[in-house]
């Protein structure tokens, strides 16, 4: 199982509350758990991920096999979430709802120290991510488990930077945008700035849904078994 299954995991999490009225209960559960953006903050930067926050309080750790080791650390003076693969496939996800047209830009820092050289995100049998930031649009439900998902990924040199790669597990629903490729930047912090609206149009050929609902970090090596170590810094959404 792979990161697209975070959508299914959300359904299962909220589905436990559904009883005899799944539509109402899923909506209610999401309303209670999603971090809504007040109107007064619409034009201010949004801190989507704070690596200094306690992991158990800020994130849900979803396993799709053995667990990747996620730990809060400080590296070179930068607060980060360290991810170490253990022949594993698991990710951290957090629900945070905001309008992407109001905050179309996203900025984050990340770092990869060890990368799976033979990974190939185009192929199920080799689909391992050194580092990935998943943006999940819409609200998974019992009748709509697959919602549009854009992933910014750092992966092997088998896929060049700028490539759009359809997920072999969720084709048409999850699209990977290769931001970093290969080993040229290994062992150093890299700051990224992307326009989510433009990238969604590029990946899907249409306008994005109104709201982004979930973000996730994902590092795995269950397919290749090769060592992987990545670090995720803060993630912010910006109005410009």
Q: What is the pLDDT of residue 185?
A: 97
Task: Count CB-CB contacts under 10 A for residue 192.
Answer: 16
| pLDDT tens-digit readout, 21-61 | 222 223 333 333 444 445 445 679 999 999 999 999 999 99
Please state, in angstroms and rounded to a whole number, the distance separating the CA atoms of residues 208 and 7: 17
Q: Which of 52, 51, 83 is nearest to 67 (CA)?
A: 83
Q: Which of 113, 105, 106 is nearest to 130 (CA)?
A: 113
The share of the chain scoring above pLDDT 90, in percent, equals 78
| pLDDT tens-digit readout, 167-178 | 999 999 999 999
Q: Model's pTM, two decimal places?
A: 0.85
What angle is formed at CA 62 by the lines to CA 170 and CA 77, rounded to 5 degrees? 110
Which structural domains are found in the chain, ordered by start? Answer: 3-238 (2.60.120.260)
| pLDDT tens-digit readout, 98-148 | 999 999 999 999 999 999 999 999 999 999 999 999 999 987 666 667 899
Please state, in angstroms and rounded to a whole number, the distance separating the CA atoms of residues 125 and 119: 9
Rama region for 140: left / alpha / beta (φ>0; ψ in -120 to 50; rest): beta
Indicate the pairing of strand 174-181 with strand 164-166. antiparallel
Q: What is the pLDDT of residue 51?
A: 98
- The set of long-range contacts for 64-67, using a CB threshold of 8 Å and a minimum separation of 24, is 64/1, 64/2, 64/3, 64/5, 64/89, 64/90, 64/91, 64/220, 64/222, 65/1, 65/89, 65/90, 65/222, 66/90, 66/222
Q: What is the pLDDT of residue 31?
A: 36
* Residue 13 pLDDT > 70: no
Beta strands in the chain (DSSP E): 46-49, 60-63, 69-75, 78-84, 89-99, 105-114, 131-137, 149-155, 164-166, 174-181, 190-195, 211-220, 229-238
Task: Count CB-CB contacts under 10 A for residue 191.
Answer: 9
* Residue 234 pLDDT > 80: yes
Burial class (CB in 10 A: 0-12, 13-18, 19+), 74: exposed
Q: What is the pLDDT of residue 41?
A: 53
Task: Count CB-CB contacts under 10 A for residue 79.
Answer: 17
The alpha helices in the chain, defined as continuous H runs, are 6-15, 22-33, 55-58, 196-204
Q: What is the pLDDT of residue 68?
A: 98
């Amino acid at each position: 199982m792979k990161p697209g299954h975070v959508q299914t995991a959300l359904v299962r999490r909220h589905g436990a509350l559904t009883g005899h009225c799944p539509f109402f209960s899923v909506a209610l559960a999401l309303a209670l758990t999603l971090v809504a953006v007040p109107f007064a903050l619409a034009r201010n930067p949004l801190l989507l991920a704070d690596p200094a926050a306690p992991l158990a309080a800020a994130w849900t750790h979803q396993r799709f096999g053995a667990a990747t080791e996620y730990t809060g650390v400080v590296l070179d003076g930068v607060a980060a979430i360290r991810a170490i693969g253990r022949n594993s496939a698991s990710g951290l996800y957090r629900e945070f709802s905001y309008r992407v047209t109001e905050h179309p830009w996203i900025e984050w820092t990340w770092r990869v120290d060890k990368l799976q050289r033979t990974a190939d995100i185009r192929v199920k049998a080799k689909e391992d991510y050194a580092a990935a930031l998943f943006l999940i649009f819409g609200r998974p439900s019992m009748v709509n488990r697959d919602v549009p998902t854009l992933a910014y990924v750092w992966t092997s040199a088998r896929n060049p930077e700028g490539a759009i790669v359809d997920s072999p597990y969720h084709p048409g629903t999850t699209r990977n945008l290769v931001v970093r490729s290969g080993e040229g930047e290994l062992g150093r912090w890299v700051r990224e700035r992307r326009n989510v609206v433009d990238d969604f149009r590029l990946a899907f050929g249409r306008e994005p849904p109104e709201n982004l609902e979930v973000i996730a970090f994902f590092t795995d090596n269950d397919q290749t078994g090769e060592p992987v170590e990545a670090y995720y810094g803060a993630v912010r959404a910006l109005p410009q």
